Amino acid sequence: MTNPLLADWDTPFGLPPYDRITDADYAPAVEAALDEARANIGAIAENPEPPSFDNTIAALELADETLGRVLGAFYAQAGADSNDARQALMREFSPKLAAYGSEITSNAALFTRIEALWQDRDALDLTEEQARVLMLTRRGFVRAGAQLQGQKAARVKQIKQRLAELGTRFTQNLLADERDWFMDLTARDVQALPGFVQDVARAAGAEQGRGPVVTTSRSLIVPFLQFCPDRALRQKAYEAWTSRGARGGENDNRAIAAEVLGLRAERAALLGHENFAAYKLETEMAGTPAAVCDLLMQVWTPARRAAEADAQVLHDMLRADGIEGPLHPWDWHYYSERRRAAEHDLNEQEVKPYLQLDRMIAAAFDCANRLFGLEFREIDAPLYHPDVRVWEVTRDGAHMAVFIGDYFARGSKRSGAWCSAIRSQQKLAGDIRPHVVNVCNFAKPSEYQPALLSYYDARTLFHEFGHALHHILSDVTYPSISGTSVARDFVELPSQLFEHWLEVPEVLESYATHAETGQPMPRDLLDRLLAATTHDMGFQTVEYLASALVDLAFHDGPAPADPMQKQAEVLEEIGMPAAIRMRHATPHFAHVFAGDGYSSGYYSYMWSEVMDADAFEAFQQAGGPFDPQMARALEAHILSKGGSEDAAALFTRFRGGMPDAAALLRGRGLAA
631's enclosing H/E stretch is helix 628-634
Q: What pLDDT score was predicted for residue 1?
A: 61
Domain hosting residue 137, numbered range: 12-105+107-144
Strand, coil or helix: 125: coil
Quote the CA–CA distance of 451 and 431 in Å, as a whole number: 37
Catalytic-role residue among 284, 337, 464, 543? 464
Domain-embedded: residue 303 = no
24 and 132 in a common domain: yes
Closest to 99 (Cα-Cα) out of 30, 50, 173: 30
Phi, psi values for residue 208, rounded to 5°: -105, 5
Cβ neighbours for 123, distance < 8 A, ≥ 6 positions apart = none
121 and 26 in a common domain: yes
| Bridge partner list, 339 | none
For the chain, the domain total comes to: 2
Residues of the chain with pLDDT under 70: 1
Domain-embedded: residue 493 = no
Domain-embedded: residue 538 = no
74 and 21 in a common domain: yes
123 and 218 in a common domain: no
Q: What pLDDT score was predicted for residue 507?
A: 97
Domain-embedded: residue 326 = no
Contact 89, 26 (CB under 8 A): yes
Q: What pLDDT score was predicted for residue 396?
A: 98
121, 144, 167: which is the final residue of a domain? Answer: 144
The answer to whether residue 464 is catalytic is yes
137 and 16 in a common domain: yes
- For the stretch 254-313, pLDDT in tens is 999 999 999 999 999 999 999 999 999 999 999 999 999 999 999 999 999 999 999 999
Domain-embedded: residue 64 = yes
Domain-embedded: residue 94 = yes
Quote the CA–CA distance of 106 and 152 in Å, as a whole number: 11
Q: Which residues of 626-659 are buried (b: 16+ CB within 10 A; e: fewer)?
A: ebeebbebbbebbbbbbbbbebeebbeebbeeeb
Angle at 292 between CA 286 and CA 294, to 5 degrees: 125
Amino acid at site 490: F
Q: Residue 34's domain is classified under what CATH number?
A: 1.20.1050.40
Q: What distances in angstroms separate CA 650 from CA 197, 480, 487, one per listed residue?
A: 44, 17, 12
The gap from C-alpha 108 to its chain's centroid, in whole angstroms, comes to 35
Q: To the nearest whole number, what is the mean pLDDT of the chain?
A: 96
Contact 399, 201 (CB under 8 A): no
